[in-house]
Structure 1
């Protein structure tokens, strides 16, 4: 899972796209799930267990944690500059909790730490993530109405290229509460 593969559908529902690196697998309870067949080409989103080639759907929760970290802080959770160094930090379970992370609320920090736990057995499951205090306090309940005036802006953002999207995230991060639209 990586941000480029998350699109907004009607009603601002997030949907995943591009399952080209996936294969269908049956879990022990008979349900179906997708697993990457090879480590994906975007190193920041690869879970430590994927690099060890023994993984479950919990690897997707790691990727979700990386995306959430980047959305909330405006930077990746790894301090390395090159792909090989990023992969080594991931392999070692080293997440960079810098100054932007420390400015987040305690529940937001807890949410990110639980998603980015190097041990998949200790990582939040999808169900537990939805029950987490930070999600419960900050995410609209099902059926919540989103102002239609926001849709063009959100669609424009979703269509932005990587650098432009990153720049917009940085600018949004810098806004004071008074500068933010109601």
Structure 2
């Protein structure tokens, strides 16, 4: 009896201690009820390409600065993930960006370099900051309806490129998603 119990227990321990996690390629992702990989990848792909083409064919110069993407949906959406992926792709496409959030720290380093305590070969030079000529900002919005046990979402991701010199919106792009998912427990 004790031997058969141990034979039963050993495989149970191995199965219960193993992880059920596996990795997949993002391209192989399946649709989910929540905002997921498909929406992020499609947004990044369409927005990055469109903005890169606009920069290379219309603007041809200047620096971009990114402002936070606003999530106005009922879902938790990691807007920083979308932002980082778009910035990464645009940087690969040689679209130039500036990060004005590091100016204060850089200014302190420049001032410290002038004290004579920093070697001349690594001292930061004054007067080399780049100013953004355009700002990218955006929003994620949705309309949600419930029909016959289904949740129907129309989600839009919109990006705008604004000229800082004129305050004119010079480019915009939108990616749309129409999702339909079964609502669990509907009709009770």
TM-score, length basis structure 1: 0.21
Select the structure with the greater relative contact order (CA < 8 A; seq sep ≥ 6): 2
Structure with max Cα Rg: 2
Higher helix share: 1
TM-score, length basis structure 2: 0.20
